[in-house]
Structure 1
Amino acid sequence: MDTGDFRKNLKIEIDGEPWVILEATHVKPGKGVAFVKTRMKNLLTGRVLERNFRSGDKVEKPDLLERPMQYSYPEGDMLVFMDTSNFELVNLTRDAVSEVLPYLIDNLEVNILFYQGKAISVDLPTFVELEIVETDPGVKGDTAQGGSKPATLQTGHVINVPLYIKQGERVKVDTRTGEFAERVK
């Protein structure tokens, strides 16, 4: 694969390890050779690194497999996911999936990323529906334009929601930004 094809969320292999590109900027200086400035995250260790690649350099695609699975239950320091096609169970440590924990609820459909046969990460759907378990009561006259207030989701995660949202309501949350998207009817 050519470095000119680099873009956000592209997965590449460097020094025998899989990386995902978080940011890619193609730079063409007035003098000198064009290059691609990247910010990448190691899919095995979680380490973030900034690195420049010369335009035209070649990199390998990693041996990654993405399988749809369903979150089942926590077991100690592990989280258990089930492949709904063959009922195979896969365990991932809480540390490996710490960034998705605020949105993980029972039976949530996710994609598990495997590298060389080993589960390494979880990709959430773009939006998840969660229940508000605690927030200040709404007051008559609160509108969508009227600001926001903190609300605790069923997972224990706290987000800001519009003033008209009440305890017990279900909301759609954008898992990329962690922000309120809309109320679920």
Structure 2
Amino acid sequence: MISASDFRNGVTFEMDGKVMQVIEFQHVKPGKGAAFVRVKMKNVITGGVTETSFNPSAKYPTAYIERKKMEYSYNDGNLYYFMDGETYELTPIDASVLDDSFKFVKENDTCTIMSYKGNVFGVEAPNFADLVVTKTEPGFAGNTATNVTKPATVETGAEIKVPLFINEGDKIQIDTRTGEYLGRSKV
């Protein structure tokens, strides 16, 4: 159990059957009346953010979020299979759990699987991906205008904007959180 007076950024707790994570907190001691804790919190499973005031003595059960590194193996329809590196067990995860950054993940990439009481609610892709450009228009010599981009398709099928000098077959680095081109891959 954790009391509201012990809330800190990142703390997860269970409230009304929902798993909540503290984003911001503030201990308030008004001139008149009892002290309280103002908390901005996020529902870990749905992503919804709410702001609530708590009595500092209120107690809630601590929620332990399990984060496990697993290797993406393959997908079959709406199911994506991830392999545990220790037991070599395959875990199927529904496509509805995956977020937008997963479009940059290719087979054998390591992702973080988040679960609560055995129920998977999220998949975190690696922050950066090195991918090969499979389709793009050819660049033009002499066109050196700054910040001019063109669409390109990478090996996972995702489409991003790249500078004009990038050609098919080039290996580039992408920030999976924003989908932005970062530069040519050094690998």
Shorter-chain TM-score tier = 0.7 to 0.9
TM-score if structure 1 supplies the norm length?
0.79
Partner of 2:42: 40
| CA–CA separation in structure 1 for the residues paired with 2:28 and 2:143 | 50
**Equivalent pairs: percent with the same residue?**
27
Partner of 1:139: 140
Structure 1: gaps (5+ residues):
none
Q: Deviations over 1:72-105 (max 9, x none)?
A: 0001210000011110111100011143431221
Partner of 1:112: 113
Higher mean alpha-carbon deviation, 99-108 vs 33-42, is at 33-42
Aligned length: 180
Higher mean alpha-carbon deviation, 10-19 vs 113-122, is at 10-19
Shift of 1:51: 2.3
- Contact 2:102/2:125 (<8 A) preserved: no
| CA–CA separation in structure 2 for the residues paired with 1:106 and 1:62 | 31
Shift of 1:113: 1.2
Higher mean alpha-carbon deviation, 59-68 vs 129-138, is at 59-68
Q: Give 3-state SS (helix, strand or coil) of 2:86's partner.
A: coil
Q: Deviations over 1:113-154 (max 9, x none)?
A: 121123222112211112222222112235593422222222
Q: Give 3-state SS (helix, strand or coil) of 2:96's partner.
A: coil
Partner of 1:50: 50
RMSD of Structure 2 on Structure 1 (CA) = 2.9
| CA–CA separation in structure 2 for the residues paired with 1:178 and 1:115 | 28
Q: Name segments (4+ residues, structure 1) moved above 3 Å.
A: 1-4, 23-37, 53-61, 141-146
Partner of 2:87: 86
Q: Give 3-state SS (helix, strand or coil) of 2:103's partner.
A: helix
Q: Give 3-state SS (helix, strand or coil) of 1:101's partner.
A: helix
Q: Deviations over 1:165-185 (max 9, x none)?
A: 112212111122221122103
Q: Deviations over 1:39-65 (max 9, x none)?
A: 52441xx25232223484655431221
- Contact 1:90/1:119 (<8 A) preserved: no
Structure 2: gaps (5+ residues):
none
Structure 1 residues 63 and 30 mapped into 2: Cα distance closer, same or farther (>3 Å)? closer
TM-score if structure 2 supplies the norm length?
0.78
Q: Give 3-state SS (helix, strand or coil) of 1:53's partner.
A: strand
Shift of 1:11: 4.0
Structure 1 residues 53 and 176 mapped into 2: Cα distance closer, same or farther (>3 Å)? farther
